[in-house]
């Protein structure tokens, strides 16, 4: 792939993204408003929560009494200790709280700033004063626990030294008695040597006891007392609304692209124009009579059929086509659709009627050779038509017939003989369009849907322009994009679209008067 084609492809993809977002903007807006509103409502009914923080400095403790070897406190163990029943129990007792230990511990968090020996003791509560009171309660209870633990360890060590001292003192007293009792010089000398050694040991033990007793045993200190917080930590309006806004936009865009990928329907004029990149020439309202009655002629605008909205729509369509004829020399117009069942034949027939009603000479051509319908719409008997003309039977003038509408003639399809695509190509390559152009102000050609046959793609380059009929109840964006791409790649000029069967506004439900 060349750099130019890669850039073109990238630009096309970006344009497609923009198209989907524009077409689905109301879906995105609705999701945004709904999610933000629910989030705001939920935030508004939440009770505020406050966090108070007390800080405790954990000092080094001796590994054994009098050993002189210090070890760094195990802060992981200390964190677990703060948030344990051993500390929570005294907090409840000291503060007179009426809460279970497990419930109290759910509101406490302990953290250690990186590279420090400080414990941050955080308590969460709906009352800022209570949050500070309990955070300090945990800090004090932890410090007391550590102090009691150190004093107990010190007491045990001191007791052991005093026991050893008592034993040495008793032994010295016994030796003193033995020396006083007399004996041989060697025995007395041995007693005196042993007494000297024991007295030295006695002095060491006394000094050791004095040293241990005077040692500072505080292993934890409160360095910051928790103060009642002034602002709640939750609910956080900025955080919640920002998260809701970002999340809802992402969800809205996801739904928009999911709907587009699943074959979404074209819902309004703006979406149709954005998708087709062509003007919408008319919006024809949904008419119940056209949807439920199948008798000949029912699809034509008539004085005895009260479908005023449709009449104005076709008058507007005829006016737009006349304007195009003066501006861009448009005289031969192909009517088609993306898929079958969108009402293109009804649009073609009534456009012919509307143009004839304002004094234009019009010829309707039925190129739906596989399933012709215009002769039935105009209540004409089956006659030799275009199919026979293309095979050399009869002339163009003989095959074209009058209708009950003044200035409107019809070239019916007739009985199909041969391949439809071959017949369409023969019609395009012949001089038929040139002759009709000279004889009529407008030639309106009804062709099969683009997705049903190749006729529209074959005829499109030979006419002045194409009008694509889109029915909101039948058309999918994917099908319409494919049809427009097919027509444009074949060389057709897209004059615009007609939105048929629009249910918005006043729905016309009257049938024919009897």
Give tens-digit pLDDT for 39-54: 888 878 878 899 999 9
Question: Which stretches does DSSP call E strand in 49-149?
Answer: 50-58, 61-62, 70-71, 108-111, 118-125
pLDDT value at residue 213: 63
pLDDT value at residue 289: 63
Instruction: Find out if CATH 3.40.50.300 is the number for domain 265-502.
Output: yes
Cα distances from 319 to residues 67, 161, 361, 494, in angstroms, run 107, 116, 14, 17
Task: Give residues with Cβ within 8 angstroms of 331, minimum separation 6.
Answer: 325, 437, 440, 441, 442, 443, 464
Q: Is 508 within 8 Å of 296 (Cβ atoms)? A: no
Asked, colleague to colleague, whether 50-224 and 265-502 share their fold, the answer is no
Residue carrying structure tokens 């057709």: 492
Please list the residues that pair with 224 across neighbouring strands: 55
Q: Is 463 within 8 Å of 432 (Cβ atoms)? A: no
What DSSP state is assigned to residue 115? T
Which tokens go with 103?
């419930």
Region of residue 218 (left: phi > 0; alpha: psi -120 to 50; beta: else): beta
Measured CA to CA, the distance from residue 512 to residue 419 in angstroms comes to: 38
Per-residue three-class SS string for 122-151? EEEECCHHHHHHHHHHHHHHHHHHHHHHHH
Measured CA to CA, the distance from residue 407 to residue 210 in angstroms comes to: 130
Low-confidence residues of the chain, pLDDT below 70? 1-13, 15-16, 19, 23, 60-73, 154-155, 157, 205, 209, 212-218, 259-264, 267, 288-299, 301-308, 382, 473-475, 504-514
Handedness of CA 325, 487, 258, 15 (dihedral sign): negative
For 481, the enclosing helix (H) or strand (E) is helix 477-490
Measured CA to CA, the distance from residue 473 to residue 420 in angstroms comes to: 28
Handedness of CA 131, 132, 136, 139 (dihedral sign): positive
Residue 372: burial class (beta carbons within 10 Å; 0-12, 13-18, 19+): buried
pLDDT value at residue 64: 40
Task: Return the number of other C-beta atoms located less than 10 Å from residue 308's C-beta.
Answer: 13
End-to-end CA distance of the chain: 66
pLDDT value at residue 155: 66
In the chain, where the domains are located: 3-46+235-258, 50-224, 265-502
Measured CA to CA, the distance from residue 128 to residue 16 in angstroms comes to: 53
Q: Is 309 within 8 Å of 301 (Cβ atoms)? A: no
What DSSP state is assigned to residue 280? E
In degrees to the nearest 10, what's the CA dihedral of 375, 381, 387, 388?
Answer: -150
pLDDT value at residue 197: 80
**Per-residue pLDDT reduced to its tens digit, 74-118:** 788 889 999 999 999 999 999 999 999 999 999 999 999 888 889
pLDDT value at residue 299: 63
Measured CA to CA, the distance from residue 295 to residue 280 in angstroms comes to: 30
Q: Is 496 within 8 Å of 316 (Cβ atoms)? A: no
Handedness of CA 34, 40, 45, 47 (dihedral sign): positive
Q: What are phi and psi of 277, to 5 degrees?
A: 55, 40
Which tokens go with 178?
């033995």
pLDDT value at residue 179: 80
Task: Give residues with Cβ within 8 angstroms of 392, minimum separation 6.
Answer: none
Which tokens go with 44?
């508004």
Measured CA to CA, the distance from residue 425 to residue 457 in angstroms comes to: 10
Q: Is 234 within 8 Å of 46 (Cβ atoms)? A: yes
Tell which CATH classification among 3.30.1890, 3.30.1050, 1.10.3470, 1.10.132 matches the domain 50-224: 3.30.1890
The helix/strand/coil state of 292 is: helix
Cα distances from 318 to residues 98, 148, 311, 414, 456, in angstroms, run 85, 100, 11, 27, 21
């Amino acid at each position: 792939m060349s750099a130019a084609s890669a850039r073109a492809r990238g630009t096309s993809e970006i344009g497609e993204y923009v198209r989907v977002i524009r077409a689905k903007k109301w879906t995105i807006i609705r999701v945004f408003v709904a999610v933000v509103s629910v989030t705001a409502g939920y935030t508004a009914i939440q009770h505020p929560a406050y966090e108070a923080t007390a800080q405790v400095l954990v000092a080094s403790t001796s590994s054994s009494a009098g050993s002189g070897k210090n070890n760094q406190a195990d802060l992981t163990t200390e964190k677990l200790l703060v948030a344990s029943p051993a500390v929570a129990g005294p907090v409840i007792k000291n503060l007179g709280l009426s809460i279970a230990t497990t419930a109290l511990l759910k509101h406490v968090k302990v953290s250690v700033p990186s590279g420090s020996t400080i414990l941050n003791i955080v308590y969460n509560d709906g009352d800022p004063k209570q949050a500070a009171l309990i955070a300090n309660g945990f800090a004090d209870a932890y410090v007391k626990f550590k102090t009691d633990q150190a004093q107990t360890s010190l007491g045990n060590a001191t007791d052991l030294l005093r026991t050893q001292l008592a034993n040495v003192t008793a032994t010295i007293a016994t030796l003193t008695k033995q020396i006083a009792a007399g004996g041989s010089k060697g025995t007395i000398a041995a007693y005196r040597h042993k007494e000297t050694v024991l007295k030295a040991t006695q002095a060491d033990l006394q000094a050791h006891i004095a040293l241990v007793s005077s040692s500072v045993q505080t292993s934890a200190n409160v360095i910051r007392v928790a103060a009642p917080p002034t602002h709640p930590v939750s609910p956080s309006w900025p955080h919640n609304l920002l998260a809701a806004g970002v999340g809802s936009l992402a969800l809205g865009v996801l739904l928009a692209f999911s709907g587009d990928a699943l074959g979404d329907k074209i819902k309004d004029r703006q979406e149709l124009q954005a998708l087709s990149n062509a003007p919408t020439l008319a919006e024809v309202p949904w008419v119940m009579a056209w949807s439920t009655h199948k008798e000949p002629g029912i699809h034509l605008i008539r004085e005895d059929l009260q479908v005023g909205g449709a009449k104005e729509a076709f008058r507007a369509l005829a006016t737009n086509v006349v304007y195009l004829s003066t501006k861009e020399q448009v005289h031969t117009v192909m009517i088609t659709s993306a898929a079958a069942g969108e009402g293109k034949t009804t649009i073609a027939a009534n456009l012919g009627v509307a143009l004839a009603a304002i004094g234009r000479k019009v010829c309707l051509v039925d190129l739906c050779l596989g399933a012709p319908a215009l002769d039935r719409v105009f209540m004409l008997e089956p006659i030799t038509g275009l199919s026979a003309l293309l095979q050399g039977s009869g002339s163009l003038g003989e095959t074209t017939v009058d209708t009950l509408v003044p200035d409107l003639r019809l070239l019916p399809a007739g009985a199909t003989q041969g391949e439809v695509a071959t017949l369409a190509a023969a019609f395009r390559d012949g001089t038929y369009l040139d002759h009709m152009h000279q004889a009529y102000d407008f030639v309106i050609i009804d062709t099969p849907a683009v997705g049903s046959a190749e006729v529209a793609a074959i005829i499109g380059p030979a006419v002045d322009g194409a009008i694509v009929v889109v029915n909101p109840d039948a058309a999918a964006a994917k099908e319409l994009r494919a049809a427009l791409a097919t027509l444009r790649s074949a060389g057709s000029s897209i004059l615009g679209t007609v939105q048929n069967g629009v249910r918005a506004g006043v729905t016309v439900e009257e049938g024919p008067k009897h």
